Amino acid sequence: MPSQFLDLTKLRTFPLAERKSLLRLEEVLLSPAASPPPCPEELRSTICCCAADLLRAKKAGSAAILLYGAHLVRNGAGAIVREMVNRGLITHLATNGAGAIHDWEFSHRQQSTEPVAENVAQGRFGTWDETGRFLHLALLAGSLREEGFGKALGRFVEEDGTQLPEASRLEELIRQFPSHPLTAARADFLAILQQFPMPPGWLSVPHPGKQSSLLAGAFCRQIPVTIHPGIGYDIIACHPMFHGAVIGRAAALDFRLFAGSANQLEGGVVISIGSAIMAPQVFEKSLSCVNNLRLQEGRPPLSNFSIYVVDLQEGGDWDWRKSEPPRENPAYYLRFMKSFSRMGGELHYLQCDNRVFIHNLFHDLENLGQPSLP
């Protein structure tokens, strides 16, 4: 039989209050003031080196980019990373769609994560009304301000909601200015309002847990926070409001913003924590764009920066600082290490729990006497 499109508008959604959430913010949140957990001795010198590199990057005015997977948020590291942002030690945050979703759910409900196998079998996995609806509305509102995914959602969290336009006003603007750069965004918002009627004006959505939100923290400090999702990767695809153009438009802006930060990496630092796919793939494409423009300007490819990769996977028993392994070595197929090893920076790999790494890194920065910003 020929395959047919599934009609997602018929999906039944459920309130977040009905969901069995596996993680509570109060139970997982790590305090920056607490003593860090024990760290394997063989990793201590590398973590200290990372701290020193971050301080050098700050002094030089170079980029310090943290790319992270969703588990860094789920493991409660938000407060520690926010403090690093507040101190000017991290200049760019980047995560995947799941990282943004867990951040938002912790901010709004102070709990997140669901039993996947159980809920998929019941057709309930990801079908949570508030998550799909509010994330889409945050991105739609942000698109009218030409904001990317990260800034739009960070603003939504920090400001506890957003402004919804009048459908008639959107239609009027589309008719009056059909070639305006915002016409496509206005049309997408108009289509959503026609399908899901909502009154214009302020949409109030409280976020009692936003003090640990990395998205809100970056928005408050006015540093870039970018989200790099995949269409169909994230639970907001399991919602009748799912709109690929809205997600793609926001993510496209964020890729350009990420590349802009990569362009400031001379003397800087890249830290990738628990992201085996998004981080290396986004970074290598952005760096190619940067080098393309540098070469046109008569400058050499970017090379004077450090890369720290943190993951639980074995590094393939290979010294990645020296060379790429041969094809017959299984380490060659460790995708994220292979990608980062080709980027021209000084590469370090730490097989480490992300909570242990980030807490010990912050502790080392404290010991080096980095004062807090007002």
pLDDT of 168 > 70? The answer is: yes
Domain ranges of the chain: 28-125+210-367
pLDDT at 348: 94
What percent of the chain stands above pLDDT 90? 90
Mean pLDDT of 167-196: 98
pLDDT of 372 > 60? The answer is: no
pTM for the whole thing?
Answer: 0.96
pLDDT at 2: 78
pLDDT, tens digit, 9 for 90 and up, residues 239-273: 999 999 999 999 999 999 999 999 999 999 999 99
Q: If one looks up domain 28-125+210-367 in CATH, what number appears? A: 3.40.50.10690
Mean pLDDT of 339-351: 94
pLDDT at 64: 98
pLDDT of 136 > 50? The answer is: yes
Gyration radius of the chain over CA positions: 21
pLDDT of 163 > 60? The answer is: yes
pLDDT at 319: 85
Mean pLDDT of 287-301: 97
pLDDT, tens digit, 9 for 90 and up, residues 209-248: 999 999 999 999 999 999 999 999 999 999 999 999 999 9
Mean pLDDT of 88-99: 98
CA 293 to chain centre: 25
